[in-house]
């Protein structure tokens, strides 16, 4: 597998990065290869023009488009545990990252690890397995695009929440403004969706927090 094939594969499927890296003899504990970073809730990470591969090992990161006008700051992606982010490698963008809850991550030097990966002989069965998973996830993603705003709000809330025996405990930090950014909808639209979900008893208030009832009819 040559250098361009590795880049093409990772661009399509970033989360294969750790699996591929584990096949090498690269010392990922060496500070020139990887650095470990922790963020407190709502602390931001800005790494400017550095070429980094970010592996989220704990928590949730919002990837935001860095705009001089703070009112136009928009969420570009939501990254959670085990996700991989290619920062300023395949394209140059001014992103910054905001921790939602405590976050831990590994920051790899992109040039070092990609050069190493490009020299490794990966096996065809690995690529066959990758193509199968990619096809499955394509159909899952296509299905997600058919969901209405209430279902999208529920999906995002669950990503931020803690799974419980019969539902999800929603942290207080998950509000309509945050949800509007993540769902790419207006705060008014999200607030209406939340009101509908509460009316339908899909979201209930328990003591000081919201609780998403588990849908026992879902497959």
Average pLDDT (194-202) is 91
Please identify, in words, the CATH class of the domain defined by 149-213: mainly alpha
Q: For every residue of 28-89, which 3-state class applies, written as one string?
A: CCCCCCEEEEEECCCCEECCCCCCEEEEEEEEEEEEEECCCCHHHCEEEEEECCCCEEEECC
Distance CA 160, CA 129 (A): 29
Average pLDDT (158-181) is 83
* Sequence-distant (≥ 6) Cβ neighbours of residue 120 within 8 angstroms: 1, 20, 23, 24
**Between the ranges 32-36, 65-69, 146-150, 171-175, where is the mean pLDDT highest?**
32-36
Enumerate the domain spans of the chain: 13-146, 149-213
Quick one: 13-146 is in which CATH superfamily?
Jelly Rolls (2.60.120.10)
| Mean pLDDT over the full length of the chain | 78
Question: Residue 219 above 50 pLDDT?
Answer: no
Instruction: Give the model confidence (pLDDT) of 8-18 as tens digits.
Output: 666 666 667 78
Q: Would you say the CATH fold of 149-213 matches that of 13-146? A: no
Q: What is the pTM of this model?
A: 0.61
**Between the ranges 37-41, 79-83, 145-149, 201-205, where is the mean pLDDT highest?**
37-41
Q: Is 59 left (phi over 0), alpha (psi -120 to 50) or beta?
A: left
Q: Give buried/exposed letters for 25-40 (b at 16+ CB in 10 A, else e).
A: ebeeeeeebbeeeebe
């Amino acid at each position: 597998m040559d250098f361009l094939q590795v880049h093409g594969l990772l661009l399509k499927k970033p989360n294969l990065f750790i699996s591929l890296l584990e096949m090498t003899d690269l010392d990922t504990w060496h500070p020139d290869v990887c650095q470990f970073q922790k963020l407190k809730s709502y602390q931001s990470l800005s790494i400017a023009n550095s070429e980094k591969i970010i592996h989220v090992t704990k928590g949730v990161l919002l990837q935001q488009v860095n705009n001089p006008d703070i009112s136009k700051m928009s969420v570009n992606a939501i990254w959670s545990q085990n996700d991989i982010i290619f920062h300023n490698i395949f394209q140059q963008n001014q992103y910054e990252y905001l921790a939602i809850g405590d976050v831990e991550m590994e920051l790899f030097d992109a040039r070092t690890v990609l050069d190493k990966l490009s020299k490794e002989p990966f096996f065809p069965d690995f690529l066959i397995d990758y193509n199968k998973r990619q096809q499955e996830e394509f159909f899952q993603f296509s299905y997600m695009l058919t969901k209405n705003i209430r279902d999208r709000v529920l999906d995002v809330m669950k990503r931020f929440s803690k799974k419980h025996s019969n539902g999800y405990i929603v942290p207080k930090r998950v509000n309509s403004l945050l949800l509007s950014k993540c769902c790419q909808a207006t705060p008014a639209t999200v607030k209406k969706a939340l009101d509908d979900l509460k009316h339908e008893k899909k979201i209930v208030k328990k003591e000081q927090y919201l609780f998403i009832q588990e849908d026992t009819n879902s497959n």
